Structure 1
Amino acid sequence: MIRLPGVHGLLGVHKGVAALLAALVFGAALVVSALPRMVESSLDAAARSAVGSAPPGTASLAVQFTRRPFDPRGMRTTKQVAKADTAWRALLPTALREVADPGRLYDFATSSPILIDDRAHRYMTLKWVSGAGRHVRYVKGGPPGRGSGTRVEVAVPAVAATEMSIRTGDTLRLGDLTVKVTGLFEPVRPADRFWALEPELTYVIHHRVPLAMDDDLIVTALADGDSLAGAELPILFRWLVTPAQERIGAGNAAAVLADTAEFGRRLGRQDLEVTLSTGLDRILAEYLQRLALTRALITVFLSGLAVVCLGTTALAVLLFAGRVRGDLLLMRARGASLARTMLTCGGAVALVAVPAAAAGQAAAGFVPGAPTAVARLGPAALAAGTIAIACAAALVRSGGRRSGNALRRIVLELLVLALAVASVHLLRTRGLGTGGLGTGGLGTGDAFLAPGPVLLALAAALVVLRAGPALIHLAFRAAARRSGAVPFLGLAAARAVPSAALPVLTLLPAVALAAYGMVTAGGLEEAQRQAAWERTGAEIRVERAEGIAPETLEQIAHAPGVRAVVPAAVGTTVAEVGFGGRPATVVAVDLGAYHRLVAGSPLRLPPPGSGALVSRDLSAAGSFDVGWPARTTVTPAGTVDAMPGVAAGDGALIVLPGAPAQVNTLLIAGDPEAVRPLLPSGANMTTVAGALAEITGAPLTAALTAALRVAAAALAAYALAAVAIALTGGAARRAEDLGLLRALGLTRRQAGLVTVLEAAPLLVLTAVAGLAAGLAMPALIGIDLSAYAGGCQGALSGGALLPALPGVVAGALAAGVAAVALAGAYWGGRRGHAG
């Protein structure tokens, strides 16, 4: 009986190639499964951060109803208000009800402040809040009681007693109402969420109307609920539904957003004319947009990893198939069917690939985060693809219809080129991650758009495959005219290299996407640093609303560790232009000293000059007056778009030259720890380091940056593996050729150089083309990543300049891959086996 080589026999003979294949499949399964988990673990944290970092009043849903005097509709008692709260909560759609905090809070207040005793600039708002008694402590007097008719009792915040000249027992006249002050209160626990939702009960509001010289002071007082509800006053009722941030995650954010809109529609169908006021929809929409972009970017690199890993694995499988070719031919010669040989080869690869893929997926389980569909199915698909390649390799026969193959190749190449051009065009016009905001994360259009960079890299690889032989032929003709034999022999061998398509189609996308990942990650870091400086305006920024005394300025300026200090004044005023004036932010600073302070930083400041700089909306005015920091006439001498650390919002911006007389801002270069002990009470200090930590510490930003670096490292590793396997695959043929040349007098050094010249042309062309494609991708596909860069607009978008340092690092990566591969080829050629 004739024994045929079995699966275990093939693996036993070719242990080295089997181990290489197992390592490649394990690494690919680990990365493909771990990378999505790593990102997914940050998505829920990002949702909680988005909701939790917003002011509670902004993130809450406020159902509002304004009752006019003598309105026959209800809301005349606190019981009716509580009943309405239950009715509104019953209208909550399912997803919104599931995330709503069970704690109830509703209030009502006079719709506008009322003048106190006809005294100018002194106003009071009367308010009742459910459960307020549990959150206040009376430092003098007691809670308000029930009034009668036009008489109302109130309690006033203790902080307002001195500023508003109000004392316990005072009787105040508010329009037709007589108000008696029964007590002064303060918060029991100021950090409670209650006070974030009712902040006006903790301070006196300062408000200045346009063109006024003095502030209006507004105090909010607690009144008895039934007395206030029964008064014939314009009353604004408010019922708050506060989302519990720990209940909102990536999985239900889209449903909560949709239900917020549905809740508003349901309220609109009620008999009572209520409105819904909330910022939750905007918060969730911004989060979902960033979520879709994050998932789409991860899909880009997962697509590239899949192509590169599968290509490298295919090279290893073909190397294994080449090694077992003799065994398979022996099986056929001894009567085995073609299916038997295919199953033997495929079974041998399956025994290696399936356990390796399972082990990689199991190892990825230690990465925190919920497994996604890609994380669950990716390793299995990788193992199945590896086995399919092995079976196809076993079925390959020599011969065939070349013309048909050439035609199919041309059609396939044109299809890839067309898809690449179309995807790049759509990415530039539509953007990535904008195809929809479903629960799956990627929009409907992203299934085609996300692999766009991969298609672009494959198109570049096809160009190299078409143009490479012509360039190598030109180099060969130039070498043929020279007297040296080594260049001629090396380039002649390069012309005759068979089966270069798969290595190029694997190596070029690996280099391109690795370069793109490194440029993106590095560019994000530069943009984040820029945004941190823009937020603070200096290495250290100290602000104090009450002003900074000259002696404090002197102490800080002469403190050890402080290199320089520039005083400034930043405030708001009204530019007296047109009818009613124009709200404006004023910055008074010595621009020359400011330039010297931030020299070497990424800040862009307006040039110093002798006149005032104004925003473009004020530039047409010949001159105008402002009332802050002192009443003065401003004559524009130039325009300014923005100033670092200053948020002008929708108002105008005015920059006054010279050091201000009254200082409320210090711009400092030095050690923050040297400044901190010298700060007066009420001063706020921000630093570039703190702003940068806040930007980079955002869950999605940190996860995306880490994922980009992991993907770039994995792609670089598989690029090296692909080159090594490609060189090893031709080792037997190369060793035979070099053996003949060595017999004719070729030295070891010359043999190494011949091997290098054989591998170098296509390898260098591929590496250079891959690097060029990777560096061009940010400009070509135009993805704006400003959401991850602290709002630094245009970060790595189509119009952004290529970051210098990340570009150099990406170039070093491509050069390193080529250098390591050529060094291996050289030493292999010297040793004589050339592989």
Structure 2
Amino acid sequence: MIRLLAAHRGTAALLALLTLTASLLVAGVPRALEASLDESAATMLRTSPPLTTALTVVLESTYSSDVPDGVEKVTQANDLWRAALPPNVRSVLDHTARFGYRTAWLQISATRHRYVSLAWANDVAPQIRYVAGKAPGPSDSPKRFEIALATEPAAAFDLKLGDTIEFEGYQGVITGLWEPLTPGGTFWNSYHSGMSEVVKRRPPLSEETDLFITALADGNALAKGKMDRLYNWTYQVNPTAITARNARDVLDGVADAGREVAGGPRSVSVATGLPIQGMGTSLVTGLDQLIKEFLDRLATTRALMAVLLGGLAVACFGTIALAVRLLGSRAHGSLTLMRARGGSLRQITVVGGGAIALAVAPAALVGAGLSLLVPGPSLPILLAGPVALAVAAIAYGCVQTARAHRQPIAESRDDVVTRRPSPRRIALEVLIVLLAAGGVQLLRTRGLGDDPFMMVVPPLLTVAAALVALRVYPFPLRLLLRLAARRRDAAPYLGVAMAARAATGATLPVLTLLPALAICAYGSVTADGLATAQRLAAWQQVGAEIRVQRSEGFPADLIERIRRTPGVEQVVPAAVGQTNAEVGFTGRDTAVVAVDLDAYRKLMAGSPLDIPRPAAGGALVSSDLAAMSSFDITWPERMTVQPKGKIASLPGVDNASGLALIVLPAQPKYTNTLLVNGDAEAVRKAVPAGTVVRTVEDALAEITSVPLVSSLVTGLRVVTLSLAAYALAAVAIMLVSGAAERARALTLLHAIGLTRRQAKGMTVLEIGPVLVLAVLAGLALGLGLPTLLGDGIDLSAYAGLPFGDYPIDPVTPALLAGGVAVVALAGVYLGGSRAKSR
């Protein structure tokens, strides 16, 4: 075996190189993808509001007779609640302890629209600094408390140190005034929002604003009071603890935790620690919704990569099989001699298969080892790809060796006698085509999901297309042969005749080239389509090249100054309100936009957005409002709206949550948004501080900045280029495989006057039909895969809008496939013949 391998070390090195790179790809790409999935989950949790990702146990004293009566009990309950959570949830929590309780909002006596709440939290004291007085102490009466206020609320309510606040039969004596050590940080904006400032709320259909402040009180005094209290224990998730592998278990654990906290059979008394039937407790979290969204994106990503990696595996194995067959043909003479000298079929198979194993097995192990250098989790299942490739290559080599040497000195020429396909082979091909057709139908209706069969449908479809192409291939070849026979020059006819002779051996090359080029085209179409959709989504989010927003509004002189700024081309003022707009007497929230649609259409000329035409003498409204002859609104001013047309959406307005939409004529005095074309930096310099300037490029960066999105696009590009490279390698092996026989034939033809140029042309005509067949069929299938797969692979979560709402550009995949064909044909032509001309 070693001598046989050494005698053909060039071919063996090629086989080893193909195996190594294939093993590296099929193990390294999924590993990198898993790393990006984990990073995406961590980024999602890190950038979400902390209370959204946390699990908060809430206990309402109103509905429970078993509540903690002091700080010590609340602290013990924190450990008890943590222990009551399912293990798959506890494992992803950090070690921070954050708990506390507060009263309901109590109206301050002798005032209207002013409320106070008393609160205690275990983590507040280290985050504040007393500027006057001291921290609240114990209470000498259940109706009287020492309290401390932040300086801003105290000043807003005109309260000073030593003042007494009366609220619904209780009294609060101000013993301290404090300031936050880090104002505006996550601690105050998320965990204790509103504690250090005045909270303002305007009830619906009310013209008065309610003011709310929070006062700190002693924990034990507050717990022993008679007021209703709301207890909370917050458990924060470690962002790096949730991965693509455990997200599903964590989601199930959160559901179990919600049931247990709400009173399941394993609930725990927060006062005594004894198992009881819970009452008045609930689990508040947004973690389950975040994980569901992540799992949806995860399923889509894995489904798409399964399609691409399936195609890559087919191409890799096909190319490796071509190299195995090349090595077998090179070693055929030696093995035939061994067989003629009495070697058994088993011995010949062991020698031939062993030589292939010596080339393939170490290369697969090295490729798998190199894949460990790719950043990502170490998953044993990722080694299955290299092992499967190596085993398949060795098995194919053994079968080919056994078939070629079943009988001693049984030489035959498959290119002279056309063999009819056996019934078994025809049945197998029909089965593959039927499975592919049925799988496509199931894929369009059910999606990929986690079904292994669904994941192999796209690669199976490419193989089925290759089999159909092979059955169709002889017919255009015969037509081409007839056309070549009419020429006086014999070289074209000889070249096509050589292609016809080689047709019997074209099965494996076509089964390699067509899937590779089809998945290559599909990956290119998907990557380009995704980039196009992301840019379109960015335009739709911003609504113009540059969007400028200012809560105080834009006076006319400021708008004019911005319009005259060098670098600013066009400015369209707009008034935009997206929340708390009252429609009629129902108080329904709606999005209201007042803009000159004619000017807006001119501004957006040449952009990918379509701006509706204005309605004559009225407003454009959502379909659910269009049936009304008129209705009143209170924003931007009280007016009567008369619907004159329908509108579903408007760029820059987010009404995806079901809000109604009203587009009014321009209201200049209420302008709070400018839609601008020009230089973004010039605009930023021209606007006052606090103005929000957002560009299409900013929105696009937000859409593409998610680690999973960039990794998905990178994976698409890597797999696409790898498939193109393997397609070229397959063509090169095809050329080399027939080089010896081609050289003998051309040597004889040179003797009767064939020139080198004609010899190269004949070689192109020999290889060209198979190559053109695979390129055209693969390109057609690759461009058709998005339509064939339908909604089976939905990339809307990555695109930022429904994926597929735009024409897919076939230029890039066509150029890629054409480039592969041109490079391959150029290589065939330049190395067309090794025989010397006269």
TM-score by length of 1: 0.91
Q: 2:587 aligns with which of 548, 569, 581?
A: 581
Counterpart CA distance in 1 for 2:322 and 2:797 is: 37
Counterpart CA distance in 1 for 2:143 and 2:612 is: 59
Aligned position for 1:814: 817
Aligned position for 2:506: 500
Farther off after superposition, 327-336 or 561-570: 561-570
Does 2:8 align with 1:14?
Answer: yes
Distance 1:205 1:642, change over 3 A: farther
Q: What residue identity is the alignment partner of 1:789?
A: Y
Distance 1:562 1:138, change over 3 A: farther
Farther off after superposition, 309-318 or 387-396: 387-396
Counterpart CA distance in 2 for 1:728 and 1:66 is: 80
Does 2:445 align with 1:429?
Answer: yes
Deviation track 1:577-620 (CA, whole Å, cap 9, x = no partner) reads 56533111222222233233333333333333443222222222
Counterpart CA distance in 1 for 2:207 and 2:717 is: 56
Q: 1:359 aligns with which of 354, 357, 366?
A: 366
Equivalent residue of 2:670, what SS? coil
**Structure 2 contact 134–176 (Cα < 8 Å) conserved:** yes
Counterpart CA distance in 2 for 1:777 and 1:549 is: 54
Q: What residue identity is the alignment partner of 2:529?
A: G
Counterpart CA distance in 1 for 2:33 and 2:485 is: 55
Residue 709 (structure 1) shift: 0.8
Residue 801 (structure 1) shift: 4.1
Equivalent residue of 2:611, what SS? coil
Aligned position for 1:440: none
Does 2:513 align with 1:520?
Answer: no
**1:138-537, aligned counterparts within 5 Å?**
138-147=130-139, 148-161=141-154, 163-190=156-183, 191-193=185-187, 195-267=189-261, 268-269=263-264, 270-397=277-404, 406-432=422-448, 434=449, 443=450, 445=451, 447-481=452-486, 483=488, 485-497=490-502, 498-537=504-543
Could you list the runs of 5+ residues in structure 2 that have no partner in the other structure? Answer: 265-276, 405-409
**Structure 1 contact 169–182 (Cα < 8 Å) conserved:** yes
Aligned position for 1:699: 707
Counterpart CA distance in 2 for 1:678 and 1:234 is: 53
Counterpart CA distance in 2 for 1:163 and 1:613 is: 43
**1:633-672, aligned counterparts within 5 Å?**
633-648=640-655, 649-672=657-680
**Structure 1 contact 569–589 (Cα < 8 Å) conserved:** yes
Counterpart CA distance in 2 for 1:761 and 1:96 is: 60
**Structure 1 contact 575–625 (Cα < 8 Å) conserved:** no
Counterpart CA distance in 2 for 1:586 and 1:85 is: 46
Distance 1:245 1:787, change over 3 A: farther
**Structure 1 contact 38–369 (Cα < 8 Å) conserved:** yes
Counterpart CA distance in 2 for 1:161 and 1:833 is: 101
Counterpart CA distance in 1 for 2:799 and 2:155 is: 41
**Structure 1 contact 353–383 (Cα < 8 Å) conserved:** yes
Aligned position for 1:553: 559
Residue 372 (structure 1) shift: 2.7
Aligned position for 2:717: 709
**Structure 2 contact 555–669 (Cα < 8 Å) conserved:** no
Aligned position for 2:267: none
Equivalent residue of 1:108, what SS? strand
Distance 1:167 1:422, change over 3 A: farther
Q: What residue identity is the alignment partner of 1:201?
A: M
**Structure 2 contact 71–220 (Cα < 8 Å) conserved:** yes
Distance 1:726 1:717, change over 3 A: same
Farther off after superposition, 555-564 or 579-588: 555-564
**Structure 1 contact 568–659 (Cα < 8 Å) conserved:** yes
Counterpart CA distance in 2 for 1:392 and 1:586 is: 72
Query: Percent identity over the alignment?
Result: 46
**Structure 1 contact 569–663 (Cα < 8 Å) conserved:** yes
Counterpart CA distance in 2 for 1:609 and 1:32 is: 57
Could you list the runs of 5+ residues in structure 1 that have no partner in the other structure? Answer: 1-6, 435-442
Q: What residue identity is the alignment partner of 1:151?
A: R
RMSD: 2.8
Counterpart CA distance in 2 for 1:138 and 1:664 is: 40
**Structure 1 contact 524–788 (Cα < 8 Å) conserved:** no
Residue 26 (structure 1) shift: 1.8
Counterpart CA distance in 2 for 1:325 and 1:262 is: 65
Aligned position for 2:693: 685
Q: What residue identity is the alignment partner of 1:84?
A: A
Aligned position for 2:272: none
Equivalent residue of 1:582, what SS? coil
Distance 1:784 1:654, change over 3 A: farther
Deviation track 1:447-487 (CA, whole Å, cap 9, x = no partner) reads 11112110111111011011111222233334445555444
Does 2:798 align with 1:792?
Answer: no
Farther off after superposition, 138-147 or 589-598: 138-147
Counterpart CA distance in 2 for 1:727 and 1:118 is: 97
Distance 1:652 1:202, change over 3 A: farther
Residue 141 (structure 1) shift: 4.6
Residue 266 (structure 1) shift: 1.8
Counterpart CA distance in 2 for 1:728 and 1:574 is: 73
Does 2:837 align with 1:828?
Answer: no
Distance 1:594 1:146, change over 3 A: farther
Counterpart CA distance in 1 for 2:432 and 2:110 is: 79
Distance 1:450 1:784, change over 3 A: closer
Equivalent residue of 1:247, what SS? coil
Aligned position for 1:77: 70
Q: What residue identity is the alignment partner of 2:259?
A: R
Does 2:107 align with 1:100?
Answer: no
Q: 1:116 aligns with which of 101, 105, 108?
A: 108
Residue 405 (structure 1) shift: 5.9
Aligned position for 2:84: 91
Counterpart CA distance in 2 for 1:171 and 1:652 is: 47
Aligned position for 2:632: 625
**Structure 1 contact 360–379 (Cα < 8 Å) conserved:** yes
Deviation track 1:800-827 (CA, whole Å, cap 9, x = no partner) reads 44421xx211111111222222222233
Distance 1:98 1:216, change over 3 A: same
**Structure 2 contact 513–727 (Cα < 8 Å) conserved:** yes
Q: 1:127 aligns with which of 119, 123, 126?
A: 119
Q: What residue identity is the alignment partner of 1:219?
A: I
Provide the aligned length of Structure 1 versus Structure 2: 809
Deviation track 1:161-207 (CA, whole Å, cap 9, x = no partner) reads 45555555544443333344444433212424464222122443333
Counterpart CA distance in 2 for 1:382 and 1:21 is: 12
Residue 725 (structure 1) shift: 1.0
**Structure 1 contact 584–651 (Cα < 8 Å) conserved:** yes
Aligned position for 2:808: 803
Q: What residue identity is the alignment partner of 1:174?
A: F
Deviation track 1:364-413 (CA, whole Å, cap 9, x = no partner) reads 23211123334323223322322222222221236899999611111211
Q: What residue identity is the alignment partner of 1:508?
A: L
**Structure 1 contact 613–637 (Cα < 8 Å) conserved:** yes
**Structure 2 contact 304–793 (Cα < 8 Å) conserved:** no
Counterpart CA distance in 2 for 1:403 and 1:485 is: 27
TM-score by length of 2: 0.90
**Structure 1 contact 95–255 (Cα < 8 Å) conserved:** yes
Counterpart CA distance in 1 for 2:623 and 2:735 is: 63
Distance 1:246 1:577, change over 3 A: closer
Q: What residue identity is the alignment partner of 2:798?
A: A
Counterpart CA distance in 2 for 1:461 and 1:117 is: 84
Counterpart CA distance in 2 for 1:160 and 1:377 is: 64
